[in-house]
Amino acid sequence: MKPPSSGPWLVLIPFFTVIAFCYATGEFYPFSKFPMYSKFEEKTYVVYLTDRTGKPVPTLDFGIFASDLKKHYGDGLDELKKDLKGSHYTWTAEQKAPAAREALRFLRDERAPQAFTDGRNAHLTLMDVRIYWKDGHLAKVEEPVASLDQLPPKPSTP
């Protein structure tokens, strides 16, 4: 049977063109050959803030996403690698504390100073949560790293 010169066959031409292009380039979006999310790390960490009672405090109260707070803290950990050996995954809370104090100082003095004027956020603590994949299960280690109580008072501006 001879295909008609017009009709439903014309609709399939763009489809077959795209398939031919995908084979020629080796790219099969959304089934990419790149391993973007095909493999996960065996360890990661997250950070969050708590008040003096240990209750979590939303970072958005300070105008910052938790991921941005983690990045600021992570940058501090990277700075500490110059002096400390090994991975920050093996460091103690005391070794990680300077990075946590800097992140808290940034929050208090630069990012959201208005959130600290009435004293209600004066006792924030930065919590560090390490998550590991061990023996086919997730393991979690959670510890306080630093508190605003450990920082010198904010310098007053004239």
Strand partners, 44: 131
Instruction: Give pLDDT, residue 5.
Output: 59
Strand partners, 146: 126
Cα 101 from Cα 97, distance rounded (Å): 6
State both tokens at 22: 């995908």
Alpha helices per DSSP H over the chain: 8-25, 66-80, 93-106
pTM for the whole structure: 0.74
Question: Which residues make Cβ contacts (< 8 Å) with residue 124, sequence separation at least 6?
Answer: 49, 50, 51, 57, 104, 107, 147, 148
Instruction: Give pLDDT, residue 158.
Output: 59
Q: What does DSSP assign to residue 108?
A: I
Q: 10 Å Cβ neighbour count for 144?
A: 14
Identify whether the C-beta of residue 42 lies closer than 8 Å to the C-beta of residue 132.
Answer: yes
Tens digits of pLDDT across the chain (158 residues):
555 556 677 778 888 888 888 778 777 665 656 665 556 788 999 999 999 999 999 999 999 999 999 999 999 999 999 999 889 999 999 999 999 999 999 999 999 999 988 888 889 999 999 999 888 899 999 999 999 999 988 776 65
